[in-house]
Structure 1
């Protein structure tokens, strides 16, 4: 039976992130075990940039719950990552965890290419900012295989499923997790599939996810 780790970067229990995650789990077509990991329930201190985890290949010297979270990642076969939008970006709990990401490099062979899907929740359509890009970056930096990452809209708890299209999105994410990669909609980076770009001079663009660059023709 597959073990799926749901990494929830929301301070609100039983909010839209958790509801959406459980709906994805409910629509998965294979037997599985879902483990909810709410980052707010764990003490994860900000990185202090000492590089001890890199040079000594030991556990991070900070006395907190980071290694508990890493062990849960090692035990999982796949990930569902969800987080709410706060002022055009993602809630800080996900970023604080990612800032400690050098500690993951000692486990790269055990984390590499695990399938994952991501969900950014925004309260107002068009105000998601760069939240989807942050979740895509998070999955890239934990060495996961991002099968599909979506933005869905809903502010108050449970509001997310007032829109029937969001249940459909949950089903599509569920199908993508262990199935074929979701087909990209619209222009995307040919290297990583990202669709967020910085426009440079001389008709050049750079992918904000993998830094691949090209020319607009």
Structure 2
């Protein structure tokens, strides 16, 4: 971290200027006791193309998609802390978050610079209880960047600036500002006992976290009891094992290419593709 002027990078996944994502983030920044520079990126204004599943970046080649991902990853790599904020759209985070996650293979190149840096995750929703999987999407983004999540919160606010019309939320922003660079760890009141994610999958012998994939059961008092780590998250050298697995899949494809083509080619001319007029 730059001890003189650390940078807090706010990733705003909302198209609304001076909406809740932007104004609440700035209120958090106002309450960070450490001197810092606040930089903001409106993710919805970026051009983020679709992954082509070519695996080029996995084997060390430059991504063929010409868009703003290089700019975004450079800014993320240089930042010292993060505030990631999104509105809830149809029970999920804004689509810009998913677009970035789909290009997540590119995270491998900056993981050594982002791992362990603090982050606050904020979701803003309107209808009571309609949060859906939005928190999980931000948790996933933070997890695969190796960030240390200090807080992950869902705040009820739909009208522009509504979050800060509530004194309790103003006080919350103050606490979050003080927590961002603090040495303390995230306080977990529920969810996965490994990473804190609140969205879990029920399996025959217990539960599996949908982010870290750790497995756990319930104890006599109803509390979650760890069974086995998921093996996905960890220090950079561990997370980079995913890239090695992907490289192995690329090699496997080349080895089995003839068999693969023999299997899929007979399906090439079946059905009718429907496209918009003019394409």
> TM-score w.r.t. structure 1 length?
0.93
1:207: Cα distance to partner? 1.5
1:44 to 48, 53, 63: 48
Q: Which residue of 2 is the match for residue 89 of structure 1?
A: 92
Corresponding position: 1:101 with 2:142 = no
* Aligned counterparts of 2:15 and 2:83: Cα–Cα separation in 1: 17
1:7 to 7, 11, 14: 11
Structure of higher CA gyration radius: 2
1:177: Cα distance to partner? 1.0
Q: How does 1:54-133 map to 2 (within 5 A)?
A: 54-56=58-60, 58-133=61-136
3-state SS in 2 of match to 1:69 = helix
Q: Which residue of 1 is the match for residue 208 of structure 2?
A: 206
1:28 to 26, 32, 35: 32
The 8 Å contact of residues 176 and 182 in structure 1, kept in 2 or not, is answered as no
Higher relative contact order (CA 8 A, sep 6+): 1
1:32: Cα distance to partner? 0.3
1:45: Cα distance to partner? 0.7
* Aligned counterparts of 1:176 and 1:149: Cα–Cα separation in 2: 12
> TM-score w.r.t. structure 2 length?
0.73
1:66: Cα distance to partner? 0.6
3-state SS in 2 of match to 1:169 = helix
The 8 Å contact of residues 148 and 181 in structure 1, kept in 2 or not, is answered as no
1:23: Cα distance to partner? 0.7
The 8 Å contact of residues 149 and 186 in structure 2, kept in 1 or not, is answered as no
- The two structures, once aligned, show a CA RMSD in angstroms of 1.3
1:145 to 134, 145, 148: 148
3-state SS in 2 of match to 1:83 = strand
* Aligned counterparts of 1:160 and 1:52: Cα–Cα separation in 2: 43
The 8 Å contact of residues 8 and 81 in structure 1, kept in 2 or not, is answered as yes
1:137: Cα distance to partner? 1.1
C-alpha spacing 1:147/1:105, structure 2 compared with 1 (3 Å): same
1:69: Cα distance to partner? 0.5
Gaps of 5+ in 1: none
Q: Which residue of 2 is the match for residue 216 of structure 1?
A: 218
